Chain A
Amino acid sequence: MAKRSITETSPIEVYRLLPRTNCAECGEPNCMAFATRLVNRELALESCPPLAHPEYAEALAALEALLAPPVRAVLIGTGDRECTIGGKYVVQRHEFTYHNPTACAIAVDDSAPLDVLQARVRAADSFSYNYIGRDLGIDAIAVRSTTGDPARFQAAVEAVQQACGLPLILCSPDPAVLRSGLVSASDRRPLIHAADRTNWQEMGGLALEFGCPLVVSAPDDLSGLRSLVRTFLAWGIEDLVLDPGTFPGAGLARTLRNFARCRHAAIRGEDDLLGFPLLGAPIAAFAGEEMDPIRCAFDEAITASALLSRYADLLVLQGTAGWSLLPTLFWRFNLYTDPRKPVAVEAGLREFGSPDRNAPVLITANYALTYFTVESDIKSANLSCYLVVADTGGLSVESAVAGRYFSAAGIAEAMASSGIADRVDHRVLVIPGLAARLSGEAAEATGWRVLVGPKDSSGLGPYLKERWPPGPA
């Protein structure tokens, strides 16, 4: 059955296949509500216990087919670190939303002394950056065989497993090398990289023998890629990942074209042979003629950014420096937020620490990123204060000032509805430095004395230390 576009599936169609008993076991009031949330991919079929009964087997199969993403979801790893890649419904995120954030793997190779290798793995595993309340980090480890020695590879794979529980990608063109790695790691469900047109029979055999997902590789050759997929599907191997080749620098045009062709074909062209997750290898920036490691890491980050925007479901990276990883992890996180949901926090009054009646009063925008940044700065500076969150339509302070969503009148309104006047004895408001132009009008509109705070909330601590309590006007 040809898969249909996500936007063409109606809740009614789904509803007809559900038990229609309105038992509410899924937590929804009735089957129609559940159907709607299924179509929106906010809930999964597993949330409906009755569907597990044998009498619904046929309906369940039909529902699974109806709701299956045109890009297959492939599971790598096991346990609490397992990750799912692919499972995409749309080409552009604004059409629906992207599911299963691109997994980012750090590469290690089997030529390194095992303690060095383990140190690198532990560093990658422990890399973490707190971004608006979430910890951004690495999702997998790619073990490369540069020695071509099965024993060395096996030792490396074992050392990596001792050092972390992350899912593994085992990389070598040599089936004998991969076999030795798989023998050690098959219970971790590693991803095998890669079957190509020279080794495909042995690689397919390994995927079946060890029950592991398999990457098919055909650099800049989509016919070759489809041919491998078609053959493996005939072999009964369905957990496949596509590697159309990553060519950094001048080759990026071809790289991006291949990625776009695969994704367009799968989603808009109903091409079942290209409906699999895409593996990008920004690490290739380190394998070219450029030798300077800083330049390589810079190019790797740029390549990663482009591939994230162009549908990569898994990235293999070499650079572990924070400066090159950070933009990649940020962009990955951002692209996979749900564009259907507003990123505003609720307007109103927030209290930090133990503010008394002389505590500073600050105001900011209700854009989630703005709010969480200000919140984390207030907390890390240990400030006791009140923060008025104004309704700026979910825009940041700077955009809201420019677009008049944050105005003197808006400030006055936010102050009034927050009830802040009853909580403090003074009448001094600190506005964001980026809203400095509003200070005069805001003073007039609120009747409060207005101080212009720092442009960046990281400066709030020092600012208040110096300026609070404020002297006479």
Chain B
Amino acid sequence: MNGRDLVGALGPELLALLRSAGRIELEGFSLELDELELRLPLGAFAPVNGGTPPSPVPERPDQLLPAEYVPSRTTYPGRIREVVLGATRLDGGSRGRSLTIGGADAPAFSLFDRPVVNLPVISMDVFDTRVPMPKALRAPFEEVRDDPAEWARLNVNRFGARAVTVHLLSTDPLIRNASPREAAATVEAVLQAVDVPLIVGGCGDPRKDADVFKEVAAMASGERLLLNSVTLDMATAKTLETVARAAAEHGHNLLAFTGLELNDAKELNRRLYEYLPPEQIVMDLTTVALGYGLEYSFSIHERARHAALMGDAELQHPTISGSTNAWAAREAWMPMPPTYGGPELRGPLWEAETALSLLLAGVDIFMMSHPAAIGALRRMINALCAWPLEEVAEGHANDWVTSPLGGDA
């Protein structure tokens, strides 16, 4: 019998009792209802003996009222494609192992109602030429800055990098204008130095990058590189097809870069579908540093992921974040008064938080630099990807309220 029926049945009895007794007491009576609606005619309860009206203060339960929480599981019609980075000998490359990114079928690290399909990956940067870098950022790499292969080796052997990004900035016509052949030789040296999957970055010039990527793609045929990046600029410069065809022919992945604009991202992907399978496309929606527009990156990633999970196939690609961009924020590297500590503290924290925000927005692979920032993000990824979830000591949850705490940093 539900509550409404019960009251309906008891109502007349109650009224009759009240009429004769003036008051009733219920003992050992409990009633659990979702919703209780009482409709009483006005004046049905004349004050008994002209006494005071009932107090407006609600009766305070002296036991905790039960209210179980029942988690709900949300399913989405869409799913992010998986992209494989790096090819082993069995697959026609020379990598020790390949990495699969993407595959998400729910928003990242939100309701934790299913295991993470593929753990987010961190790729460590290598620059092929000396570019101005904040001291705190270049300090860990001072000895290898003139040797990309050694730099890559340091990243893998000392810092545990699972992927490496070689930025071929020397090819920039405004820097050294190194030839595509020189650039390919650099990539080849790195491929020989380490056996993790590689990301190969250009200089941002749509014509020069096309020449460089074409050369690199052929030299590293079968290695499943991620070429970073192709842009709508290349479409304008009529060089997009060259790169896309080279990637398709030699079995590489393409990174489709657009500037915080989902319609552009979709348009670029559509153009790329003409040349290669969508499983070879990763998106870079642009990472802006904390304090300089990270919230735009954050929301564009949340929007892209939501749309993809809701079924927008043109956005169902894994995403990448160039989190080293965090160092573009002056608060990461500039000298500041003592309370702000040095850039060796501020910088890595800035890089870690920039990456962390985008990790929570669903980014699948990170290009990062500072070992301390990478360590922090790696710990975070491990904590968030454990399945089943780590147990916690509930009894200690509020230790911060009553315990003496470590000194103030």
Interface of A toward B, CB cutoff 8 Å: 92-94, 107, 109, 111, 120, 131, 144-146, 148, 171-173, 193-194, 196-197, 200-201, 204, 217, 219-223, 225-231, 234-236, 245-247, 249-257, 260-261, 264-265, 269, 273-274, 281, 283-284, 286-287, 290-294, 296-298, 301-302, 305-306, 309-310, 316, 318-324, 326-327, 330-331, 334-335, 337, 339, 343, 367, 369-370, 373, 395-396, 398-400, 402-405, 436-437, 455-456, 458
Contacts and interface: CB of A to CB of B under 8 A. Distances in A.
Contact of A245 (B67, B337, B352, B397): B397
Contacts of B132: 455
B394 A221 contact: yes
Contact of A254 (B259, B331, B392, B399): B392
Q: Which of B356, B394, B406 has the most CB of A within 10 A?
A: B406
A64 to B, nearest CB: 20
Interface in B34-84: 57-62, 64-69, 71-72
B386 A253 contact: yes
Contacts of B20: none
Nearest to B68: A223
B299 A94 contact: yes
A301 B400 contact: no
A458 B339 contact: no
A145 B402 contact: yes
Contact of A247 (B59, B110, B306, B397): B397
A399 B402 contact: no
B402 A148 contact: yes
A261 B69 contact: yes
B61 A235 contact: yes
A286 B225 CA distance: 43
A227 B350 CA distance: 40
B345 A227 contact: no
B218 interface: no
A145 B398 CA distance: 12
B103 to A, nearest CB: 19
A204 B294 CA distance: 41
A335 B291 CA distance: 10
Contact of B357 (A250, A273, A309): A309
A contact patch SS: helix
Given A94-B302, A250-B386, A296 B406 contact: yes
A451 B204 CA distance: 21
Contacts of A405: 259
Contacts of A249: 379, 383
Contacts of A197: 64
B287 to A, nearest CB: 10
28 contacts: A107-B400, A171-B401, A173-B401, A219-B392, A223-B68, A234-B60, A245-B392, A250-B390, A251-B392, A252-B383, A254-B389, A257-B111, A261-B111, A284-B400, A286-B405, A287-B399, A298-B349, A305-B353, A322-B340, A327-B350, A334-B293, A334-B295, A339-B295, A339-B296, A395-B259, A396-B292, A399-B260, A405-B259
Nearest to B328: A398
Contact of A246 (B60, B356, B397): B397
Contact of B67 (A201, A227, A254): A227
A405 B236 CA distance: 14
Contacts of B286: 399
Contacts of A404: 233, 236
Q: Which of A200, A269, A399 has the most CB of B within 10 A?
A: A399
Nearest to B348: A298
A404 B257 CA distance: 13
Interface residues of B, number: 89
Interface in B271-312: 286, 288, 290-296, 298-299, 302-303, 306
Given A269-B72, A286-B406, A293-B409, A227 B66 contact: yes
Given A273-B67, A283-B400, A330 B409 contact: no
A120 B408 CA distance: 10
A367 B293 contact: yes
B384 A323 contact: no
Given A256-B112, A403-B231, 4 more contacts: A250-B383, A252-B380, A322-B341, A369-B293
A327 B353 contact: yes
A234 B61 contact: yes
Contacts of A257: 110-112, 389
B336 interface: yes
Contacts of B109: 253, 256
Contacts of B346: 323, 326
A152 to B, nearest CB: 13
A176 to B, nearest CB: 14
B404 A109 contact: yes
Nearest to B264: A403
Contacts of A373: 330
Contacts of A252: 380, 383-384
B31 interface: no
A460 B50 CA distance: 85
A269 B357 CA distance: 25
B349 A402 contact: no
Given A146-B403, A223-B69, A131 B291 contact: yes
Contacts of B65: 227, 230-231, 234
Contact of A323 (B294, B345, B380, B400): B345
Nearest to B259: A403
Contacts of A221: 394
Contact of A318 (B61, B302, B306, B408): B408
Given A109-B404, A402-B204, A194 B331 contact: no
